[in-house]
Amino acid sequence: IVLTQSPGTLSLSPGERATLSCRASQTITSNYLAWYQQKPGQAPRLLIYGASDRAPGIADRFSGSGSGTDFTLTISRLDPEDFAVYYCQQYGSSPRTFGQGTKVEIK
Amino acid sequence: QEQLAESGGGLVKPGGSLRLSCTTSGFKFIDYYINWIRQAPGKGLEWLSYISPTGNAVFYADSVKGRFTISRDNAKNSVYLQMNSLKVEDTAVYYCARELRPYYEFLTGYHVWGQGTLVSVSS
């Protein structure tokens, strides 16, 4: 399954709302879609699994939605620490696959 | 504290071999699939392989199938990635990662990650 993320880069200011998209080439089994945040020099951090469930310790400004082939990660109000690269991943089919990433940068 | 730690990375010539280790602690190892993921310099994440708790189920990405072999030693709480016929394009940071919940519950994304180990393939 090929995952296509858009946009490639999102330029926003702190406090603004971020909407990131992930589109799959075929239906993702059981909505097994995860979102990760990665900062330079760090391992990815799981934000969302099952398309909409927040991982432990993740702030409620992060939310996931969608089903089938279209999924969205929303950050309701960007905090300075949220500027990073975000990846979606499907884990319902093998091989597991990641999207190419969306960079959220400070405007 | 649940931890994964990769080791074994380094510089190797094209066509060479390397064995990565993922040593775990702080959780019941036999309850979890373990995955390998890599990230080439300045690039995105690429899933490579997983191994089931008993080791009898494995899967590989097409990019490494036939060259890489994943295995585990449940007595040592460790997973290995044997990498043969290495190519320049295998240069990357290699991570091992574990799901949020054990295999007998629902599938999730990867909640626990190692710090990564750098593999450089160059002549």
| Chain A partners within 8 Å of B44 (Cβ) | 87, 98-101
Query: pLDDT, tens digit, for every residue of A44-86?
Result: 999 999 999 999 999 999 999 999 999 999 999 999 999 999 9
Token duo for residue A63: 């939310």
Q: Computed from CA positions of residues B105, B33, A35, B6, in that sequence, does the dihedral angle turn out positive or negative?
A: positive
Of B119, B2, B108, nearest in space to B68 by CA: B119
* Cα nearest neighbour of B117 on chain A: A43
pLDDT band for B106, please (50, 70, 90 cuts).
confident
What pLDDT sits at residue B39?
98
Paired sense of beta strands B117-121 and B10-12, if any: parallel
Query: pLDDT, tens digit, for every residue of B27-72?
Result: 999 999 999 999 999 999 999 999 999 999 999 999 999 999 999 9
The amino acid at residue B9 is: G
Taking all residues of chain B, what is their mean pLDDT, rounded to a whole number?
Answer: 97
Start-to-end CA distance of chain B, whole Å, equals 40
CB contact under 8 Å between B108 and A49, yes or no, is yes
